[in-house]
Amino acid sequence: MSRIPPLTPPYRPDLQTAFDRIMPPGAPPLDLFRVIATSDRAWQKFAAASLLDRGPLPLRAREIVIHRTCARTHCGYEWGVHVAAFAAAAKFTPAEIAATAQYPSDFAWPPAEQALIDTADALHDRASLTDFEFTNLAAHFSNDQILEILMLAGFYRTVSYLANGLNLAPEHGTPALLK
C-alpha cells in the first residue's frame, strides 16, 4: 500500500485530460501518477520534467536506459511497468529483459546497446561518465540523443526514488524485478 493514498476517480477535468494523454486508451492512470497528483505542485513539476513524449531515441534504446536505471535503483514498480508496457514493442527477448536487471552482467549486447548499459551503470555508480565512456556513447548516438539518455537516466532515478519511497505496490499485470 502506498504511504500516500492515491487520488480516486472522478478526477478533476485537468488531471483526467493529463492522465488520458499519457495512458493508453481505456487504461486507468498508474498509481504513481495518482499519488503524485495529490499535490498540485508535485504533479506540475513531474509533468513538466516528464520524458513521456517521443524523443530523439528509438524506443528500444530509450527502454534499455529506463530498464537499467530502474533495475539499478531496485525499483521493481517502474521496471515492471516498463517491461509490461514497452518490452514487446521494443522487441526485447526474455534474455534481454533479464539482462537489464542483472548487475554485473556478462550478457552480450550489441555495441550501441552496451554503451547504453555502461552509461546507466556509470551514472548510477558515480553520477558521471569518464571520457572513455562518453566517447563510446558518442560513437553511437548524436548530441541530442546523448542529452536525452542523460535526462532519461536522471528522470527515472527520480521516478525510482518516488516509487520506492512511497512503497508503491506493483501495478496489476506487471512482472517482478528479476534478481
Q: What is the CATH number of the domain that holds 121?
A: 1.20.1290.10
- Within a domain: 174: no
- Within a domain: 109: yes
Q: Left if phi > 0, otherwise alpha if psi is -120 to 50, otherwise beta: which for 167?
A: left
- Within a domain: 65: yes
**Residue-wise burial string across 124-143, b where 16 or more C-beta atoms lie within 10 A, e elsewhere:** beeeebeeebeebbeebbee
- Going by pLDDT thresholds of 50, 70 and 90, the confidence category of residue 132 is very high
Q: Is the peptide bond before 104 cis (omega within 30 degrees of 0)?
A: yes
Domain count, the chain: 2
- Going by pLDDT thresholds of 50, 70 and 90, the confidence category of residue 48 is confident
Residue 50 has pLDDT above 90, yes or no: no
Q: What is the pTM of this model?
A: 0.94
C-alpha cell at 78: 517502474
pLDDT attached to residue 107: 95
Mean local confidence (pLDDT), 86-103: 96
Both 17 and 86 in one domain: the answer is no
Both 66 and 123 in one domain: the answer is yes
